[in-house]
Amino acid sequence: MAAPMPVALIDDDKDLRRATAQTLELAGFSVSAYEGAKAALAELSADFAGPVVTDIRMPEIDGLQLFAMLKGIDADLPVILMTGHGDIPMAVQAIQDGAYDFIAKPFAADRLVQSVRRAGEKRRLILENRMLRKAAEDAQENSPLIGQTPVMENLRKILRHIADTDVDVLVAGETGSGKEVVAQILHQWSHRRKGNFVALNCGALPETVIESELFGHEAGAFTGAQKRRTGRIEHASGGTLFLDEIESMPVATQVKMLRVLEMREITPLGTNEVRSVDLRVVAAAKIDLGDPDLRGDFREDLYYRLNVVTISIPPLRERRDDIPLLFSHFAARAAERFRREVPELSPEMRRHFASHAWPGNVRELSHYAERVVLGVEGGAAAPVPAQPTGGGTLPERLERYEAEIIRDALTANDGDVRSTIEALGIPRKTFYDKLQRHGINRGGYTARK
Ligand SMILES: Nc1ncnc2c1ncn2[C@@H]1O[C@H](COP(=O)(O)OP(=O)(O)OP(=O)(O)O)[C@@H](O)[C@H]1O
Ligand SMILES: [Mg+2]
């Protein structure tokens, strides 16, 4: 159970104060009542978690003055004004100045409760956004790899353990999931950071070029080789060699690479000279090279040589709890770059976070955040693809599809078990079994965490 939402109530009329407090308490709020603005100001601060409800006509400091002072404490504190008959023009002006709502006296209990509830929800989102933004800043300070889910915590722990060893690492993950970030961390967190981080995209270079790129050549080694050239491997000596898209490395090169990994030496083209290199190799693959069906013509021996340590980065849709934090980070960064306001997280955005399959993973999310900052994406959910993308066997894909459907249903029903089960049309036990199997945390979908 979440703690009840606090409400600050200020009214100099004792009877009205008591009655209003009672109404709000019956509706489930936790009310702090004050007989005047001074007493309230002494206690309210920028982290007050709920709305403020105040009478306008009060001796000393009146409700409008109080509203102005509260703006100084926290401009995002929702203030609801209770107004007597003659004060409505003033109240309308106050709304223009940013007051949340006004309620003309006498009012129905319902009207008040609804306004307070909406204001409270708004307040909750604002504080949550602030918290996320701060967490994103802190996270960025601690590590460029943002994420608070257990898998990401664990991943950082592993990186910390292995970064300063010379062990070669294979990083596996879908596009945009952070493979290069991981490779760079391995470099930065090791003594090799003084050397070069040399990235080579094995898929982007034609077969004829890749070997001279990797191993270098002497002048005249082949037609067109006019000058001696140091290869990337040698350039990375003392630092880190990042072989991106290793699955696309031509087979002939794979054989030579295997030799490099085993002997830690190279022979530039056009020479017989053997040069030793001090290397740490980090390779990245989008596919599971351990699977013979996916591996294709990728050499098994090279796979085993690279696979001393494999770091698998799960796709974003399998760590959805990291999405708000990542979004806040990218939105803040984009806002700074484009000189725009940092957007608040809206419920629509949250729905999009929860239901979208994110085939482009973190990169896609960062582009989404940029579009939101630029105002071209209001956060309204983009059409959800009929099927989450990504490969795998039919049963694996069906599993993923099922998990998506369950998440959608939970989102649509704010995590309410009964209505979610009804929507899905499955027995309660099956529902809970599936939650467990897919690692879905129902608590993450309730309106109030
Ligand atoms: N956990 C993370 N925290 C912060 N930023 C991240 C994280 N993961 C990825 N990014 C950012 O997302 C973008 C894509 O990450 P990266 O280039 O490392 O992905 P990749 O796995 O190498 O993708 P590809 O396979 O397409 O090359 C980059 O801008 C990167 O900084
Ligand atoms: Mg990459």
Q: Are 174 and 286 in contact (CB under 8 A)?
A: yes
For ligand 1, whether the C-beta of 364 sits within 6 Å is: no
For ligand 1, whether the C-beta of 287 sits within 6 Å is: no
pLDDT band for position 225 (cuts 50, 70, 90): confident
pLDDT at res. 382: 40
Q: What residue's CA is closest to ligand 1, atom 8?
A: 178
Cα–ligand 1 centroid distance for 9 (angstroms)? 48
Of 66-80, 337-351, 402-416, which one has max mean pLDDT?
66-80
Q: What residue's CA is closest to ligand 1, atom 24?
A: 175
For ligand 1, whether the C-beta of 177 sits within 6 Å is: yes
Q: What is the pLDDT of residues 349-369, one digit of tens each?
A: 988 999 999 999 999 999 999
User: What single string gives the DSSP state of each residue in 198-246?
Assistant: EEEETTTS-HHHHHHHHHEE-TTSSTT--S-EE-HHHHTTTSEEEEETG
For ligand 1, whether the C-beta of 180 sits within 6 Å is: yes
Distances (CA, A) of 28 to 21, 40, 84, 123, 125: 11, 21, 26, 16, 19
Ligand 1 pocket check: which of 143, 146, 159, 181 to mutate, most ligand atoms within 8 Å of Cβ?
Answer: 181
pLDDT at res. 1: 53
Question: What does pTM read for this prediction?
Answer: 0.65
Q: What is the pLDDT of residues 308-319, one digit of tens each?
A: 899 999 999 999
pLDDT score of 20 more than 50 = yes
For ligand 1, whether the C-beta of 243 sits within 6 Å is: no
- Higher per-residue pLDDT: 408 or 242: 242
pLDDT score of 288 more than 50 = yes
Q: Which atom of ligand 1 is nearest to the CA of 171?
A: 21
Average pLDDT over every residue of 265-294? 90
pLDDT at res. 129: 85
pLDDT score of 140 more than 90 = no
pLDDT score of 431 more than 60 = yes
Among 84-93, 144-153, 361-370, the range scoring the smallest mean pLDDT is 84-93
Cα–ligand 1 centroid distance for 360 (angstroms)? 10
pLDDT at res. 447: 60
Share of the chain above pLDDT 90, in %: 54
Q: What residue's CA is closest to ligand 1, atom 18?
A: 178
Q: What is the pLDDT of residues 377-428, one digit of tens each?
A: 765 434 334 344 556 677 777 788 888 888 888 888 888 888 888 888 888 8
pLDDT score of 177 more than 90 = yes
Question: Rounded to whole angstroms, how far apart are CA atoms 281 and 120?
Answer: 53
Structural domains of the chain ordered from first start: 6-138 (3.40.50.2300), 150-312 (3.40.50.300), 316-445 (1.10.8.60)
Of 1-5, 41-45, 386-390, which one has max mean pLDDT?
41-45
Amino acid type, 123: R
Q: What residue's CA is closest to ligand 1, atom 29?
A: 363
For ligand 1, whether the C-beta of 181 sits within 6 Å is: yes
Residue 414 has φ and ψ, to the nearest 5°, of 50, 35
Distances (CA, A) of 375 to 52, 130, 330, 331, 444: 31, 20, 14, 11, 27
Question: Rounded to whole angstroms, how far apart are CA atoms 297 and 305?
Answer: 16
Cα–ligand 2 centroid distance for 241 (angstroms)? 14
Could you tell me which residues are beta bridge partners of residue 42? none
Length of the chain: 449
Among 142-156, 169-183, 371-385, the range scoring the smallest mean pLDDT is 371-385
